[in-house]
A and B are shown apart, each in its own frame.
Chain A
């Protein structure tokens, strides 16, 4: 199993969509760029926004809001495209970009700051979730980004982040 699909202590890139905060293992991230004009590809589902030129490579860009079934917004200048390394069909590495409202930080999460996905997450949803990470300031839903991006259609995530945040960190 790819190390980025396991819940491990380490550095995580955190970003947000609206008021929901997410984290992904930094090793899964290839690059973050400011949102640039995306060339729309016709006849694609709404979460496939189009393509951009990343230093001579034409890479697909997904709209993460659409992918998660969230309302669309007009992106501000804080919006970014986060590129994730993906295992392509012919085993070469390809990258897929996702538009997020904003990138927050890179945080170091230790064993004690990581929790497995809550029980109430269904079997399907837990395929998309690494778990929950928390810092004194915030709680993050940690995502298995490769699995999410490889899944066709939209992906419904359980909205437990706010619950978890309300409960606060349960770590001793």
Chain B
């Protein structure tokens, strides 16, 4: 059941993000089009069992609308937006029904009866002899065109819209380079392991993104080419075509063409080459694609490392004229396939150790740069200047600054996996000296943590893992006697929760015995002999200095130093450790860390002219209530009805005792926020946007302030307060009739 819920939650999360994007989309604008496209792809790529059947089937609808939009104006129109909104509402309902086991509702007539009419939305496509069916998702693509058919009409070309699309094309260029790299990476994986679903998905996704972006920029020839490649991958993905040498060759050849087009786009954008039609030599590759699909049984899938690139080229009819440019573009890829070990070595050598303080300075300076830059950008003199060169330079400055900022921030974030993997060795060594069999399971290794947190988490983790092996996991004989697997399992997991980060060490060992902890503590006179403790209090004794639970002192742990030190460490990071234990079944230690320095996605909400940030992770959805949707229930205050669920309304202004501009709920916006099992509709004046922010510690002066977890520097240089949703929802709720003019002091202890 819980897995089922988690799956639905994953879908719900994508839908929530979709809602956010839709909320900011406007007719006639392309804002949000590509994100919506990407989110749809997320949904499409979820394993089939994730999605309720009705929803899975209905996914073709938004896909058709978005593809149509990308194929034509590359902007949203009123009808599309309305349909997407309706579809989204229906999808949410559908999900709710799936969660409660009810029959999903029928598609609303406004979107359900719409007959697919792809032909009339396609642009007149002069250079393309056979435009592909944009609604191909419904059934597998027929085998692509034969070479003869394409060759007869010449090589299709595309024309860049310069200088109008300059900025977009630049982004397209850098994004494409990224995509090409990921294709290479995935092909390498695929060559080693033809069944690697991740790699197939990555390539599919890359081709799909190519298609979307090219369509967006009206590079129709490129879009259609990417579409054909995508269709090939679709067949591979669905298992209808096996991963053969021919398929890999087709992918590589396709990537080569994309690489060449990309480099030509880059050359024209930077002015190295004059603006002229760029040929998209698709025919040969499409021939390869056809061959791959026809001869799928004839060629066996490779099981080991690929042959050398030269052989690959020789064995396949790739047009010789294209060889140089793409090779130059992607020099590392194929040679590296032959020597992956050497490549890894090179990667390991390319790391640099540097002083963390310098890194912090860099991040702060870049933050200032961004502020100063936006000050220049927003200045009326610059905005109103007729000087196009200045405008151009300023835009360039702003793009570089953003890149720099992103880069600087990412320097400080590292995945927790590196730290976690160090523990594997530790577990093996400690288990070996103790004659135990222990398996370490790592989860959430790619959770990004501020590197300062990762550094400081090392010691506490080592202590806890040692303790788990030493005290938690029993010797194999004892485990078998207790009816358990002889091999014990320790799980080390990291995940985001409540806008914070949780690291959990759990084992399936003997667990902690509260009675023994109490006895030990009394024996060592750490607690009075007549102390009465409940189970949780007893477990907490383990954090007392000088308490050791091991019968024999080992040289690994059990000297009574450890857990008190661990707690000290964690608290110095302003986090805390929770302990849970089931005697005989194992113990778990849960470290909750604040985001002190971590980057989070925040929703910027306005309240009476002030801006607050709510971690987007805690926000399930946002909407403007209809008049009457919020009602006052006697003794319960205001409640809102959301899809049959009645949720309490918490007015942000009242919770924070700040003036709100909005008094009627229908004039403001409701954010459905959750913390653990508590779900509340938070009423704010407005949503101003969403932004990635770095949480800055506000210092000891606000240590008692639990509603605010930190501050963040906003784009204009002012400070936005980040609200702690957990405390906000746990705070006692003021009754609806409470006067908003309550004096400030009254709330103080």
- A-facing mask of B681-724, CB < 8 A → 1, else 0? 00000000000000011111111010110111100011111000
- How many residues of chain B have a CB within 8 Å of chain A? 35
Which B356-381 residues have C-beta < 8 A from chain A?
A: 363-365, 367-368, 371
Q: Within the assembled complex, what's the spacing in Å between the Cα atoms of A129 and B35? A: 60
Which B203-236 residues have C-beta < 8 A from chain A?
A: none
Of the candidates B658, B710, B744, which one forms a contact with A58 in the assembled complex, judged by CB atoms under 8 Å apart?
Answer: B710
Q: Within the assembled complex, what's the spacing in Å between the Cα atoms of A89 and B700? A: 7
Say yes or no for A147: interface residue by CB 8 A criterion.
no
Say yes or no for B622: interface residue by CB 8 A criterion.
no
Q: Within the assembled complex, what's the spacing in Å between the Cα atoms of A82 and B368? A: 20
Question: Are B698 and A55 touching (Cβ within 8 A)?
Answer: no
Q: Within the assembled complex, what's the spacing in Å between the Cα atoms of A58 and B365? A: 14
| Known pairs A57-B696, A60-B698; A43 contacts B747 (CB<8 A) | yes
Question: Are A55 and B368 touching (Cβ within 8 A)?
Answer: yes
Question: Are A41 and B699 touching (Cβ within 8 A)?
Answer: no
Say yes or no for A135: interface residue by CB 8 A criterion.
no
Beta-carbon nearest neighbor of B712 in chain A: A58
Q: How far is the CB of A35 from chain B (nearest CB, A)?
A: 14
Say yes or no for A148: interface residue by CB 8 A criterion.
no
Residues of B within 8 Å of A103, CB to CB, are none
Residues of A within 8 Å of B610, CB to CB, are 39-40
Q: Within the assembled complex, what's the spacing in Å between the Cα atoms of A62 and B610? A: 19
Beta-carbon nearest neighbor of B366 in chain A: A56
Say yes or no for A109: interface residue by CB 8 A criterion.
no
| Known pairs A39-B718, A43-B747, A53-B719; A96 contacts B708 (CB<8 A) | no
Which A63-97 residues have C-beta < 8 A from chain B?
A: 88-90, 94, 96
Which A20-59 residues have C-beta < 8 A from chain B?
A: 37, 39-46, 48, 50-53, 55-59
Q: Within the assembled complex, what's the spacing in Å between the Cα atoms of A58 and B745? A: 24
Residues of A within 8 Å of B710, CB to CB, are 58
**Which of B364, B367, B702, B713 has the largest count of A CB atoms less than 10 A from its CB?**
B702
| Known pairs A37-B718, A58-B713; A42 contacts B707 (CB<8 A) | yes
Residues of A within 8 Å of B719, CB to CB, are 39, 50-53, 58
Q: Within the assembled complex, what's the spacing in Å between the Cα atoms of A62 and B700? A: 13
Residues of A within 8 Å of B697, CB to CB, are 58
Say yes or no for B656: interface residue by CB 8 A criterion.
yes
Q: How far is the CB of B737 from chain A (nearest CB, A)?
A: 20
Question: Are B700 and A58 touching (Cβ within 8 A)?
Answer: no
- A-facing mask of B627-639, CB < 8 A → 1, else 0? 0000000000000
**Which of B368, B572, B658, B696 has the largest count of A CB atoms less than 10 A from its CB?**
B696
Question: Are B713 and A42 touching (Cβ within 8 A)?
Answer: no
Residues of B within 8 Å of A88, CB to CB, are 699-700
Question: Are A43 and B718 touching (Cβ within 8 A)?
Answer: no
Q: Within the assembled complex, what's the spacing in Å between the Cα atoms of A150 and B718? A: 25
Q: How far is the CB of B230 from chain A (nearest CB, A)?
A: 44
Residues of B within 8 Å of A55, CB to CB, are 364, 368
Residues of B within 8 Å of A58, CB to CB, are 696-699, 710-713, 719
Beta-carbon nearest neighbor of B719 in chain A: A39
Question: Are B656 and A60 touching (Cβ within 8 A)?
Answer: no
Residues of B within 8 Å of A40, CB to CB, are 610, 658
Residues of B within 8 Å of A57, CB to CB, are 364, 696
Say yes or no for B388: interface residue by CB 8 A criterion.
no
Question: Are B708 and A42 touching (Cβ within 8 A)?
Answer: yes
| Known pairs A39-B720, A42-B657, A94-B700; A56 contacts B713 (CB<8 A) | yes
Say yes or no for B748: interface residue by CB 8 A criterion.
yes
Question: Are B705 and A60 touching (Cβ within 8 A)?
Answer: no
Q: Within the assembled complex, what's the spacing in Å between the Cα atoms of A66 and B700? A: 19
**Which of A52, A53, A88 has the largest count of B CB atoms less than 10 A from its CB?**
A53
Q: Within the assembled complex, what's the spacing in Å between the Cα atoms of A12 and B610? A: 37
Q: How far is the CB of A148 from chain B (nearest CB, A)?
A: 13
Of the candidates B658, B701, B707, B748, which one forms a contact with A60 in the assembled complex, judged by CB atoms under 8 Å apart?
Answer: B701
Q: Within the assembled complex, what's the spacing in Å between the Cα atoms of A56 and B371? A: 9
Chosen A-B contacts, 16 in total, with CB atoms closer than 8 Å, are A41-B705, A42-B708, A43-B705, A44-B705, A45-B745, A46-B745, A48-B701, A51-B702, A51-B711, A52-B719, A53-B371, A53-B717, A56-B365, A58-B711, A58-B713, A88-B700
Having A41-B708, A56-B364, one finds 12 other A-B pairs with CB under 8 Å, namely A39-B721, A41-B702, A46-B744, A46-B745, A48-B702, A51-B721, A53-B371, A55-B364, A56-B367, A56-B713, A58-B697, A58-B699
